[in-house]
Structure 1
Amino acid sequence: MASVETLYKELTAEWAKRPPNTKKCGLLLDQLKVALVKMVFLPTDGSEAQNSKKQLLLARCVLEIAVEHSVLSKDLQAFERYMSQLKCYYYDYAKIIGESDNKYKLLGLNLLYLLSGNRVSDFHTELELLSVDIIQHNQYIRPILALEQYIMEGRYNKIFQAKSSMPAEVYNYFMDLLVETVRDEIGACIEKSYEKISAKDAAKRLNLRVPDEIKVFGEKRQWKLEDNGNYSFTDRSIKPKEALPSEELAEQVLSYARDLEMIV
């Protein structure tokens, strides 16, 4: 236990530096993870809940740092893994160790991560674990819920504006990913809505202010740039006509009519 506490003190001291040395923190986290597993700090079943409060608190603190460290390292797999472990302490062991000051900051971070990957169903699953009061008033949860609302309403300009007003600095990376996801959605809409559009107008809709940015975006989407500076989507709008499955549709309609008649 003494050696684990020494490692933890070294980690917190390094993590408190701004900016922290992510490589050194990563090495310390690796050592702590091994030590925690050996000492059975990480819960695997209900019997682990009887471990000392001090040990469980230490494990939770380590995981909280690990979650933020994975974001700084841009390691999404590690983020999901640590977040999954951390939620055990937030939800299953709260009666033993109390509520963490970082709980809603990291739960909000997880919601933003799901939103940035367009994982809407997972987003709502996580949201259902929170109380109505927290969803409506918490400083970390409420802004993320607003982002989801903007996406559902197609108010993408609000997403771009919200980038500079995130509740914590650690949110910035996932916010950048969300902006890219939104730009891809706008790009797909442009392809469907226009036969041609100028690079200037496309950049305006995508909230891109540097000329090279629209060029990079267009190349990523494989947009055809004409000599006059317009993007052409004529080849994308021409689609082969598909025959309607009339027989199948007729059978389905008749089936619905029979079911409706039986109900009446």
Structure 2
Amino acid sequence: MSGVTAQFKAFQSEFEGKAPNYAKCTKLLNELKIALVEEGFLVPGASDGGETARAVLEYAVLLAVKQRETEAFERHMTQLAAYYADYRDVLAPSEKEAHMVSLHLLHVLTRDSEYPAPFHMLLETLPAAVLANPQVAAVVELEQLLNDGRYANVIEMTSQLAADASSYEAYFANKLRDAVKAEMAACVATAYADMPVARAKTLLVCESDAELAELAADFGWLIDAGVVHLRPGGTATTPTAAASAEAKVPSLRVISDMLGYARDLERIV
């Protein structure tokens, strides 16, 4: 066990340093996981070394976020979930659990093709104490805003989460914000042919002319004399960005369908 402890401390020292070398961290992490397997510790609920193995997986999740490796994030989070869900009464509580869960929930919001079911299934597995944590509660609130179609509020909240570019939440928050903005832009392009720049910035929650110009370039819009021409060719734009947003956040399509069902129900009643 002393050897594993020494390896873990070496990894922590590198990862938490002022200028971490993530390639070196990956190498140390792989060596550490091999050592854990050889010692029989990388087994959920193992009485001896189980907490160390859980801590290693928590750091593995954080390293995956820093390296923008989605598959590694999912793999390590799946392993880690067993410790949180099935061995809560066996191991001492982890101070990082709420943070890990909040990152997992954000990931589901930005990527899962079967949303919203996986998001709410995950919530069902969480104890009240974890759900009440501010980090987790913030993501639950974000999902509610998205589900309600309150995109401007979603943009505002994701911008707050991503305010610190070095934070782990920033990676997922930026992905969600970009996808929602692309969806909003596609809707605006369908509804309007032209509009003043000031109005476009308000509708699309753009903080600067440069941000609007970047969005316009993505969608093939033309900005001229203070006016945004959303259909410069005379037809509604169908940009790749909108398709990408649909793929990243399929919940937006679900929201649109639900609103349509609600309107039909009102007519029936």
Query: Is TM more than 0.5 here?
Result: yes
Deviation of 1:150 (Å): 1.2
When structure 1 is superposed on structure 2, of 34-43 and 61-70 the one drifting more is 34-43
2:35 is aligned to: 35
Matched, 1:225 2:222: yes
Question: 1:21 offset after TM fit, Å?
Answer: 3.1
Match runs of 1:7-156 below 5 Å: 7-43=7-43, 49=45, 51=46, 53-117=47-111, 119-132=115-128, 134-135=130-131, 137-156=132-151
The CA deviation string for residues 168-191 of structure 1, in whole angstroms up to 9 with x for no partner, is 932121111111121122112112
Q: CA deviation at 1:97?
A: 1.2
How many Å apart are 1:164 and its aligned residue? 5.4
Structure number with the bigger relative contact order (C-alpha 8 A, sep ≥ 6) is: 2
Q: Please tell me the residue identity of whatever aligns with 1:143.
A: A
- Structure whose CA Rg is larger: 1
Q: Percent identity?
A: 29
SS of equivalent residue, structure 1 residue 208: coil
Name the counterpart of 2:251. none
SS in 2 for 1:209: coil
Structure 1 unaligned residues grouped into runs of 5+? 239-264
Q: CA deviation at 1:69?
A: 1.0
Q: Distance in 2 between matches of 1:7 and 1:68?
A: 18
Give the distance between the partners of 1:204 and 1:117, measured in 2 at CA: 27
Aligned Cα root-mean-square deviation (Å): 2.6
One-letter amino acid matched to 2:221: K
- Deviation per residue, 1:83-114 (Å, 9 max, x gap): 01100111112222122111111101110111
Q: TM-score normalized by structure 2?
A: 0.75
**Structure 1 residue ranges, 4+ long, deviating more than 6 angstroms after superposition:** none
Partner of 1:241: none
Structure 1 residue 224 displacement after superposition: 3.4
Q: Distance in 1 between matches of 2:96 and 2:214?
A: 38
Partner of 1:197: 195
Q: Where do 5+ consecutive residues of structure 2 fail to align? A: 239-269
C-alpha displacement of 1:202: 2.4
Deviation at 1:29, TM superposition (A): 0.9
| Residue 77 of structure 1: how far off its partner (Å) | 1.1
Separation in 1, partners of 2:28, 2:88: 26
